[in-house]
Amino acid sequence: MKYNYHMHSIHSDGTNTPEELIALAREHGIKAVALTDHDTIDGVEAFMAAAAGTELEAIPGVEISSRIGQQYVHILGYGIDVNHAELIELLRTLTAEATEYTRYTFEKYVAKKYNYSWEQVLSRRNKKGLYLSDLFFAMLEDGVFNDWAQFSGFVDYCFQFGGQQYGASVEKSFDAIQKSGGKAFLAHPKLMKLDLDEEYRIIKRLKESGLDGIEAYYPEHSPQESQWYELCCERLDLEVSGGTDWHGMARLKSPLYFVGHVRVG
């Protein structure tokens, strides 16, 4: 089965609309998809509506910026109720923090280097949450960049100060997801950049705090690493997920889907 339980739209830092994601999935024979925008569910209604009446299994989701101690992690929520007040409030706070993080990055690294203003960004990108892709998108439209092939270099330049510095506690993220009727999965565990013993210790702590599963299949996971995360799931009685972290033009090397027997929900 072709599947992708980790996809982003223009409502966070992807370049496809929710409707375009559904159209891509149907065009390529994908059977199951989830929209998991960063810290927002604004695109979920359109995503689900576009899939209604088709053969496609569409799952409402979100990717919540989180932390456990000093370790930043991303938590995927699947099967959520997008009208749940506590979840909406948490995501509203995190979206504001994401925008402040983007503005900090812009003012520290981008404005002078590219002779571009925050006001120019805002004139091009009228949305709640602003991300590095929005900075790039605005400058692309104004001719500062030529095409999306330059985006990865731009991100590397902006990440010089160390990357994401915001997130809800994992307990708060788990609580919001599960109270809304969803399940909580650890996204791309390899990106924590820990040795196996520390990684397992963190996953075990997450399980004790309410984790439901692990994204075992991810483009940066080798087959051996995916097997390791499957084993972690088996040992800790966790579910297995997988997704390509699709961002459209903002992540050109990501595949559109995986093939396997992974199911969420």
What tens digit of pLDDT does each residue of 181-240 get?
999 999 999 999 999 999 999 999 999 999 999 999 999 999 999 999 999 999 999 999
CA angle 71, 242, 224 (to 5 degrees): 80
Banded pLDDT at 47 (limits 50, 70, 90): very high
In this prediction, residue 162 carries a pLDDT of 61
Q: How far is CA 40 from CA 89, 205, 220, in A?
A: 10, 26, 24
Banded pLDDT at 160 (limits 50, 70, 90): confident
Report pLDDT digits (tens) over 56-88.
Answer: 999 999 999 999 988 999 999 999 999 999 999
Decide if pLDDT at 265 tops 90.
no
Q: Going by CATH, does the domain composed of 2-88+166-259 fall within 1.10.3720.10?
A: no
In this prediction, residue 112 carries a pLDDT of 94
Residue type, 131: Y
What's the predicted TM-score (pTM) here?
0.96
Element holding 60 (H helix, E strand): strand 57-68
Decide if pLDDT at 164 tops 80.
no
Q: Are 180 and 87 in contact (CB under 8 A)?
A: yes
Domain boundaries defined on the chain: 2-88+166-259, 93-161
In this prediction, residue 125 carries a pLDDT of 93
In this prediction, residue 85 carries a pLDDT of 97
pLDDT, the chain, mean: 95
In this prediction, residue 70 carries a pLDDT of 86
Interatomic CA distance for residues 73 and 93, integer angstroms: 17
* Section 126-155 average pLDDT: 95
Q: Spell out the alpha helix ranges (H) of the chain.
A: 18-27, 44-51, 85-105, 111-114, 118-124, 132-141, 151-158, 170-179, 196-209, 223-236
CA angle 198, 39, 256 (to 5 degrees): 80
* Section 12-33 average pLDDT: 98
